[in-house]
């Protein structure tokens, strides 16, 4: 940038001198969306453009929305902060408000749709995900995006698809809004002038620093990291790691060894059991997307690995697939930090297991051992968090 893109040869391909530019046998194409549309149409009847005229129209609709409502508004907030544009405090607030309005509209659409158009990934999803990725990586913190849970679910589902991951890599959400870039003042001519040689240097008196001043100047020692409230609970007879080892190492007689061992270890005073049921099972129409959705949830639960054990079942031999789970948490309630930090939690209905109900305890047993059929249906897959 700033060198080869300003050459006469490059300016013949794009008179504005911007990238990207695609060189084709029939001539160059510039602008990202135009290139994406061209590449998509290289394959006849490409499903990325839908299967009907109305699909095509809606895909184009969401491509425009991703560009003019998402990409532009992320840029209006981000670019002034990183020094690409002039930062004006009075302009930042309306930029953020415009982005929230756009994300709110997208969130409403995704509340009842897995994808932007139809039942599979289209070009609209590719462009939307790429545009959102800049916001998630650079400026949209978890506290900001938590207002839009369906956008969060959609985004993380998309970026965890193998083909997205191949291009975008391991994407992590930013933890903070970037500070406003400050430009160092240029050195003035006066300050750059050398001192006259004939002027004698003034003797600088060294001040003796008093001990109390030294102490005041020392940096404060880093405060110890606050303990997780779960670490402050009374000790439990159940050692979670011992249960996880028993679960992993039991290869036969699972009921007699692992399940019996679980109930022998279980401490109702120190732990609680919870059933979860995905609220939007009617969206689970594609098997690999449903599996990736659950895998993403388990990845984001990593913050609770020290305090939890979970089983997630993907149920059904044909769509829509049901997602149900069983979770063991330290404490008598679902930990608050898990509810705060893992947005997937609100996508599920949570019911505490009644330990006095033998039918519910048997359901716990079946979920731990991946019993099939489960509640009369085949298992597509079962995933464990341990």
CA 334 vs CA 159, 248, 365: distances in Å: 28, 24, 20
Task: Quickly state the pLDDT bin for 267 (edges 50, 70, 90).
Answer: very high
For the stretch 348-375, pLDDT in tens is 999 999 999 999 999 999 999 999 999 9
For 164, the token pair is 């997205």
Spatial neighbors of 154 by CB under 8 A, at least 6 apart, are 110, 114
Task: Quickly state the pLDDT bin for 376 (edges 50, 70, 90).
Answer: very high
For the stretch 242-257, pLDDT in tens is 999 999 999 889 999 9
For the stretch 68-79, pLDDT in tens is 999 999 999 999
pLDDT at position 210 over 60: no
């Amino acid at each position: 940038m700033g060198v080869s893109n300003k050459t006469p040869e490059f300016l013949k391909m794009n008179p504005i001198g911007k990238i990207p530019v695609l060189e084709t046998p029939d001539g160059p194409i510039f602008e990202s969306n135009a290139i994406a549309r061209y590449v998509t149409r290289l394959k006849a009847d490409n499903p990325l453009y839908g299967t009907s005229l109305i699909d095509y129209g809606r895909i184009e609709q969401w491509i425009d929305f991703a560009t003019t409502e998402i990409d532009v508004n992320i840029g209006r907030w981000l670019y002034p902060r990183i020094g690409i544009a002039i930062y004006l405090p009075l302009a930042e607030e309306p930029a953020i408000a415009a982005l929230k309005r756009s994300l709110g509209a997208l969130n409403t659409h995704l509340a009842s749709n897995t994808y932007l158009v139809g039942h599979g990934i289209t070009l609209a999803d590719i462009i939307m995900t790429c545009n959102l990725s800049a916001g998630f990586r650079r400026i949209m913190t978890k506290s900001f995006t938590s207002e839009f849970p369906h956008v969060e679910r959609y985004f993380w589902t998309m970026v965890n698809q193998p083909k997205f991951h191949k291009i975008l890599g391991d994407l992590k959400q930013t933890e903070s809004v970037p500070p406003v870039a400050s430009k160092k003042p240029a050195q003035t001519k006066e300050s750059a002038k050398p001192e006259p040689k004939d002027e004698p240097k003034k003797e600088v008196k060294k001040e003796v620093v008093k001990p109390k001043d030294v102490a005041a100047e020392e940096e404060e020692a880093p405060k110890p990291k606050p303990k997780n409230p779960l670490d402050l609970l009374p000790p439990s007879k159940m050692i979670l790691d011992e249960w996880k080892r028993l679960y992993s190492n039991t290869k036969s007689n699972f009921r007699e060894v692992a399940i019996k061992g679980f109930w022998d270890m279980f401490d109702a005073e120190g732990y609680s059991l919870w059933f979860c049921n995905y609220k939007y099972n009617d969206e689970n129409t594609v098997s690999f997307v449903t599996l990736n959705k659950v895998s993403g949830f388990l990845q984001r639960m990593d913050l609770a690995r020290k305090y939890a054990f979970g089983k997630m079942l993907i149920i059904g031999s044909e769509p829509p697939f049901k997602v149900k789970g069983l979770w063991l948490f330290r404490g008598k309630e679902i930990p608050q930090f898990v509810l705060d930090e893992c947005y997937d939690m609100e996508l599920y209905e949570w019911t505490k297991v009644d330990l006095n109900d033998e039918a519910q305890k048997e359901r716990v047993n079946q979920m731990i051992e991946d019993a099939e059929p489960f509640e009369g249906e085949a298992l597509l897959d079962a995933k464990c968090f341990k």
